[in-house]
Amino acid sequence: MSSGSQIAILGVPIDLGAGRRGVDMGPSAIRYAGLSRRLGELGYQVVDFGNLTVPMVETTPPPPPDSRLRYLEPIADMCGRLARQVADIVQQGMLPLILGGDHSLTIGSASGSARQRRLGLIWIDAHADFNDEHTTPSGNIHGMPLAVLTGRGHPTLTGFAGRIPAFDPAHVVLIAVRDLDPLEREALRASPITVFTMHEIDRCGMATVMERALAIATTGTEGFHLSFDLDVVDPREAPGVGTPVSSGISARESHLAMELIAESGALRSLDVVEVNPILDERNATAQLAVDLVLSALGKRIL
């Protein structure tokens, strides 16, 4: 993206996919941190489409206690509408920037971005989000979107890109994962997805990991979708997230990853998810989210 390009912001205040309330307020917190203004200062034309209309827990019939896919129908409806709107944004020549909300929304945002083009996928997250209804210990769909997007998931969720899988697993990279469920770990080991855990980041450094990831996501594709879950950052620097996990990457490592993404010139769409203002401190996590988006879109130190 270059100065003067158009960016389309769309909020998705969904928390039906999560086990803890509060991430539905994430889009408001990120906007409050000055997202549109600061993108404008970076030279972009910003169009804010407001929020996708999504159901609330209070107005949605509760799922059965033993449900393996909690709130499947309303989440599938949300993802279908989101995919259509994102695909329309792409058709208009704008870069979609989706604000979450829990990570289930990426089933829709990434599928919509990939509907008319072959994209790679970079997934930066403390969790793999690679469960399905057979492996999930919780039934929460925000733990399943990466599996769905690579063709391993409930048929109600897998077809929003117009093909299955939406993303070829050979062009998918998972970065900074450090918290896996047992059956999810087995499924991930059997998958062609490339995984860089915290071990690889500690051992090789973020720059090396990102260079490898970008090569995988861009070879044979038209660019890539980026999904960034704020819980990938260590909770000492990003306390306001739905499912914090200790010993994460630093804010500076996060910025380096985003800066290298910007330098690649191959970013085609992105979502920023799982900001939970209820658990935040003075909106610090939402502010970090804005700073990282700016780095991904070309903001430089010098």
Is residue 78 within 8 A of residue 98, CB to CB? The reply is no
**Is 102 annotated as ligand-binding?**
no
**Is 88 annotated as ligand-binding?**
no
Residue 57 burial (10 A CB sphere; 0-12, 13-18, 19+)? middle
**Is 125 annotated as ligand-binding?**
yes
How is residue 260 written in tokens? Answer: 């290298």
The residues annotated as belonging to the active site are 103, 125, 127, 129, 142, 229, 231, 274
**Is 134 annotated as ligand-binding?**
no
Residue burial 268-301, b: 16+ Cβ < 10 Å; e: rest? bbbbbbbbbbebbeebebbbbbbbbbbbbbbbee
Is residue 228 within 8 A of residue 270, CB to CB? The reply is yes
Rounded CA gap, 269 and 282, in Å?
28
Other C-beta atoms within 10 Å of 90: how many?
A: 20
DSSP assignment letter at 9: E
Rounded CA gap, 207 and 227, in Å?
18
> Which residue, among 169, 214, 215, has the nearest Cα to 192 in the 3D structure?
169
Residue 286 Rama label (left phi>0; alpha psi -120 to 50; beta): alpha
**Is 171 annotated as ligand-binding?**
no
Rounded CA gap, 219 and 11, in Å?
30
Q: What is the biggest distance separating any 2 CA atoms in the chain, rounded to whole angstroms? A: 54
- How, if at all, do strands 267-273 and 224-229 pair? parallel
Residue burial 108-133, b: 16+ Cβ < 10 Å; e: rest? bbbbbbbbeeebbbbbbbbbbbbbbe
Annotated binding site: 103, 125, 127, 129, 229, 231
Annotated binding site for Mn(2+): 103, 125, 127, 129, 229, 231
